[in-house]
């Protein structure tokens, strides 16, 4: 089974460059969690992954200014696996909305996939 939280929007002060740390930037976060339920029919929240808890964990991590997106995706993936023992695999992608590069059009993303 899979639970996905996609296009989560955050504003943060992540980055190596001074402008990123002062002005901030928009970020999109995707978290995809594969898990094995312990029952055949899920009818209770404690039998699945609580996406509200996942969102709150992502939000807390995104609120801490961090130099590298690689650090953030790793922390989010580790937190999901720690908090949810039925999770088998998690993939986290963070997309930075604007780069501090003159005339750059587009965005950049960092992803990690971790398996239990």
pTM reported for the whole predicted model: 0.94
Task: Return the structure tokens found at 66.
Answer: 């961090």
Please give the radius of gyration of the chain, using alpha carbons only, rounded to the nearest integer.
16
Q: Note the pLDDT of residue 68.
A: 96
> Could you give the maximum distance between any two Cα atoms of the chain, in Å?
53
Which residue in 18, 45, 28, 49 sits closest to 92, CA to CA?
28
pLDDT, averaged in runs of 10, over the chain (116 residues): 98 91 94 95 94 98 97 98 97 90 86 96
pLDDT cut 90: percent of the chain above it = 83
CA-to-CA separations, 60 to 12, 38, 72, in angstroms, rounded: 11, 28, 11
| DSSP, residue by residue, 41-84 | S--SGGGS--HHHHHHHHHHHHTS--S-HHHHHHHHHHHHHHH-
Domains defined along the chain, listed by start:
2-115 (3.30.1130.10)
pLDDT of residue 109: 96
């Amino acid at each position: 089974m899979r639970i996905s939280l996609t296009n989560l929007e955050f504003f943060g002060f992540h980055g190596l460059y001074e402008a990123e740390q002062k002005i901030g930037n928009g970020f999109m976060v995707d978290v995809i969690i594969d898990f094995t339920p312990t029952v055949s029919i899920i009818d209770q929240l404690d039998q699945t992954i609580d996406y509200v808890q996942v969102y709150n964990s992502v939000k807390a991590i995104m609120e801490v200014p961090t130099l590298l997106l690689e650090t953030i995706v790793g922390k989010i993936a580790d937190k999901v696996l720690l908090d949810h023992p039925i999770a088998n695999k998690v993939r986290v992608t963070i997309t930075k909305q604007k780069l501090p590069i003159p005339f750059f059009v587009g965005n950049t993303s960092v992803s990690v996939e971790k398996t239990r």
